[in-house]
Structures are given as structure tokens and as C-alpha cells.
Chains A and B, each alone.
Chain A
Amino acid sequence: AQKVTQAQTEISVVEKEDVTLDCVYETRDTTYYLFWYKQPPSGELVFLIRRNSFDEQNEISGRYSWNFQKSTSSFNFTITASQVVDSAVYFCALSSYSSASKIIFGSGTRLSIRP
């Protein structure tokens, strides 16, 4: 079965703090893709990153970084020096051969950055 678990329902931090959003996934496929999407208060879903199962290198994009560890089936997302504009719901997602065309989403983590 394909599953994505985001155990943190809500996180609230003060601006400029670093924050890590956890994501744990389950799949029996050896080839799969992991995603992070951001849903700001306006409601749209914004694509942030895609990572394939054969690439365990960490990725950094500005204040965002992602840590992929196959050994623990985790794909965690860290925001460094958080800003109020980072306030949103963040979804981790999985697609694999077994899921065919659909993306399996986690339940999301609501991140609030306080000024």
C-alpha cells in the first residue's frame, strides 16, 4: 500500500526560527517520486520539489532544504530563517508505479510563522 504520513498537524514558530516538517512514506516499489507542495492561505497548490528514489542527495534552494533518507523512509523539509510568508499548509506526496497516475498526499502540516 502507498501511504504518506505527516505526523505534525500544526506547527507555530516565531519568525527567523528554523523549522522542519516531517514526512514518512510507505511503498513497496523501488522506483518512486516524492514531492512537496505548498498551499498558502489563498488556496492554490504550489509545487516545490520532486525527488526520485535513486537520488538521496540533499537539496537546497534558498532558505528551503530537503533531506531524503531511504533508510528511514523519510523526506523532511526544512525552512531556515522562516518568514511570515512561509505560513501555509505543506503537503508531502508520493507517486510510484503502483499508484499509476495519481499522487498520494499526506494530510498536510499547517505552518504558522508569528512575527
Chain B
Amino acid sequence: DSGVTQTPKHLITATGQRVTLRCSPRSGDLSVYWYQQSLDQGLQFLIQYYNGEERAKGNILERFSAQQFPDLHSELNLSSLELGDSALYFCASSPRQGAFQETQYFGPGTRLLVL
């Protein structure tokens, strides 16, 4: 158990809808990262938040957004969903600003299926 929690575990929705994925980092960790794992793209970095502020951005679509709250949990919002958004979404956390030296510990993931 990494100490990172994600809810829900599974999510089934329809095209055009909007969903919110939630992540709680390990106790004491200030950085939260979101990754998408799909069959064709593999594991890809989406976005990072550090202590409430966006710190780094990867291959995140404009339809997607995230935020980190004062209690350090984070939410990833996916809107206008398309079939291709079906994937496993991981959250990870690390202790500090997420400099490349830090190890990222991953949550169990949220499996999203868009029908």
C-alpha cells in the first residue's frame, strides 16, 4: 500500500459527460501528479501540483483540468468525454516540489470507461 488513495476505483460514463477523479496524497507529501495510462499511449504525465499551485504540465488536453486543495487532496476534471479518454488514471505523490530526484508513489488508479 503506497499510502496514496484514489476514488472512485471504476467509473463508467457516456460520451460528452464530465467526471471528477479524486486523489489524496501520502501523509506529508506536498506534490501530486496525474498520469494517464492507455493502451496506445502508455503511461503519460498529465499535470503536477505542488502545495496548491500548478507546477508542471504534460500532455494534458484542454478538456481536462486539475486542482489541489488546501488539505492537499487533488481532483482531476475530465469534460466533454470521448471514447478515447477511456484509460486508467493514476495519481502519484512525492514529499516536496517534485524535483526529478524525488520518488513518486502511485495510487491504485481510477479506471474510466467512456461508452
> B-contacting residues of A (Cβ < 8 Å)?
32-33, 35, 37, 42-47, 50, 52, 91, 95-97, 99-103, 105, 107-108
Contact = CB atoms under 8 A, between A and B. Distances in A.
Contact of A50 (B31, B88, B90, B103): B103
A32 B100 contact: yes
A101 B56 contact: yes
B109 interface: yes
Contact of B99 (A35, A47, A101, A103): A101
B45 A103 contact: yes
Interface of B: 2, 31, 33, 42-43, 45, 48, 55-56, 58, 88, 90, 92, 97-101, 103-109, 111
B103 A102 contact: no
A100 B100 contact: yes
Contacts of B99: 101
Contacts of A101: 31, 33, 45, 48, 55-56, 97-100
Given A43-B88, A44-B106, 4 more contacts: A47-B103, A103-B45, A103-B104, A108-B43
